[in-house]
Amino acid sequence: MAITAAMVKELRQRTGSGMMECKKALVEAGGDLEAAIETMRKNGLAKADKKADRVAAEGCVVAKISADQQRAVLIEVNSETDFLSKSDQFQAFAAEVAEKALESDAADIEAVMALTLASGETLEEKRRALVAKLGENVNLRRFERFVSEEGLLASYLHGSRIGVLVELKGGDADVARDVAMHVAASKPVCVDESEVPAEMLEKEREIFSAQALASGKPEAIIEKMVTGRIRKYLAEITLVGQAFIKEPDLTVAKLLKSKGAEAVRFVRYEVGEGIEKKEENFAEEVMAQVRGE
């Protein structure tokens, strides 16, 4: 059966794949459009699986809050290159993931990716098709959901690489957004001293004690030095202890008190944090894509 330009065009419209790939699939399927689509889907999944172990340390962070202000999600979707993360297709996929996560009660990444889109395909199926089409590993790395019936939820995005969700008790939308902006800029570890991990505090205490002992000062002085340094350290890593980014003479604790608010929790994502990036030879990477690896 002769493969016409109209057949190739229809297959491209339905799959979003390249012209030569569509023509090859139609030839192999003897002109059967549905069979060609099935073959391309199978090949696409195989390509996606081959790329699953490749490091994806670029991407974007997306925040969404429900219309009733009672639910919010923050997600990080990763790609291998910054170039791909800025593409319309990648951004649209990340937005879909955030929207579906917001609508659902999914408790983990696997559950989120199993959610079904209006098209009938799951997010995981769409992700794998995207990997096959774009030639890079794409994945949902993490997500966080806040649900609060009485609290105040707010988000802040610094570009598409840093995102924050905060929950306050009391206050208003302006102070909630200011606190979210502060978290984005100042990177606190937790809300207050009660949430500081014991092992982190003990480690710092050991370091400060060793530094103080090296000074040769009396034991009573050393204890005061360590206590003072621990107090300063806690102020630096806790949200309420930090100097407010917009008014450095004011701590976040004092800001919240002046607004009749209390910080309940926050989460901050930065694209690629904690991922060991692999150094790639760009020329070799291009050739690998040309070879279809």
Which CATH number covers residue 22?
A: 1.10.8.10
Whether residues 106 and 25 fall in one domain: no
Which of 33, 50, 67 is where one domain is finished?
50
Whether residues 43 and 59 fall in one domain: no
Residue 65 placed within a domain: yes
Instruction: Pinpoint the alpha helices (H) of 70-218.
Output: 82-85, 88-103, 109-113, 123-134, 173-186, 198-213
Residue 83 placed within a domain: yes
Digitized pLDDT (tens) for each residue of the chain, 293 residues in all: 788 888 888 877 666 566 777 788 888 888 888 887 777 666 654 444 455 567 678 999 999 999 999 999 999 999 999 999 999 999 999 999 999 999 999 999 999 999 999 999 999 999 988 888 888 889 999 999 999 989 999 999 999 999 999 999 999 999 999 999 999 999 999 999 999 988 888 888 888 888 777 777 777 787 888 888 888 999 999 999 999 999 999 999 999 999 999 999 999 999 999 887 655 554 565 555 555 55
Whether residues 136 and 64 fall in one domain: yes
Structural domain boundaries enclosing 127: 54-147
Which of 128, 147, 166 is where one domain is finished?
147
pLDDT of residue 228: 84
Which of 93, 118, 147 is where one domain is finished?
147
Residue 90 placed within a domain: yes
Q: What is the pTM of this model?
A: 0.76
Number of structural domains (the chain) is: 2
Sort strands 58-65 and 71-79 into parallel, antiparallel or unpaired: antiparallel
Residue 180 placed within a domain: no
Residue 64 placed within a domain: yes
Q: What is the DSSP string of 51-105?
A: TTTS---EEEEEEEE-TTSSEEEEEEEEES-HHHHTSHHHHHHHHHHHHHHHHS-
Whether residues 68 and 137 fall in one domain: yes
